[in-house]
Chains A and B, each alone.
Chain A
Amino acid sequence: GAVVSQHPSRVICKSGTSVKIECRSLDFQATTMFWYRQFPKQSLMLMATSNEGSKATYEQGVEKDKFLINHASLTLSTLTVTSAHPEDSSFYICSARVRGQGYNEQFFGPGTRLTVL
């Protein structure tokens, strides 16, 4: 299947700093990428949808000025957590949509564990 990578896999930062997470589709072009957040023992929650060359669409309750998303190319989307605080500590997962054979699939990255001290 299609491969999606994330970098970094784990990051620890001080409160108030900004953190950038990269999501790359390695062997395909992804016109749409999705960003999810997952707290311990909980399900994935969609944060935003990122379309190449246009502004991201954020889910209700997600602050677009705090979670900056850039989808500059068909293989790269970035999520920047600005002025991170301890409550932003979570597991962030991206996915990319693949077109093929009459229906779409989403392939997920391995996730990024963010810990804000």
Chain B
Amino acid sequence: LAKTTQPISMDSYEGQEVNITCSHNNIATNDYITWYQQFPSQGPRFIIQGYKTKVTNEVASLFIPADRKSSTLSLPRVSLSDTAVYYCLVGDSNAGNMLTFGGGTRLMVKP
């Protein structure tokens, strides 16, 4: 299973753009990259998923370079309510590979 490495924590201020980068050097050909958000005492919430290049939805963008050995979650104009832990996962659940959680990045948004 591909292992992921993320910064342990990040601080930001309201209104700023936040970019969280994840390294996954051993990503396999069939692996997708998925990001989840988790608030205290809640289950993780799916944010975005991608395979290559750029994916954008209503809450975030995901940038994946050509070699796919890293990815960057971009949160535009964060608010206090974006304070949470963000997890980057890689895996191919189609093949039965489980999504394994790494340490995650604890984002603190300050006023």
A residues near B (Cβ < 8 Å) are 1, 4, 6, 34, 36, 43-46, 49, 91, 93, 95, 97, 103-111, 113
Return chain B residues, CB-CB under 8 Å to A93: 43-44
Q: Is the interface of A mostly helix, strand, loop or mixed?
A: strand
A95 and B93 contact, CB distance less than 8 A: no
B43 and A110 contact, CB distance less than 8 A: yes
B100 and A46 contact, CB distance less than 8 A: yes
CB-nearest residue of chain B to A1:
B46
B101 and A111 contact, CB distance less than 8 A: no
B12-51 CB mask vs A (1 if < 8 Å, else 0) is 0000000000000000000010101000011111100101
A104 and B46 contact, CB distance less than 8 A: no
Near A by CB (< 8 A), chain B positions 41-64 give 41-46, 49, 51
Return chain A residues, CB-CB under 8 Å to B45: 108
B residues near A (Cβ < 8 Å) are 32, 34, 36, 41-46, 49, 51, 87, 93-94, 98-104
A105 and B34 contact, CB distance less than 8 A: yes
CB-nearest residue of chain B to A91:
B41
The one of A4, A104, A110 that contacts B93, using a Cβ cutoff of 8 Å: A104
Return chain B residues, CB-CB under 8 Å to A104: 93-94
CB-nearest residue of chain B to A41:
B106
Return chain B residues, CB-CB under 8 Å to A4: 43
Given contacts A43-B101, A103-B49, A108-B44, could you give 12 more A-B pairs where the C-beta distance is less than 8 Å? A4-B43, A43-B87, A46-B101, A93-B44, A95-B44, A103-B94, A104-B94, A105-B46, A105-B49, A108-B45, A109-B43, A111-B43
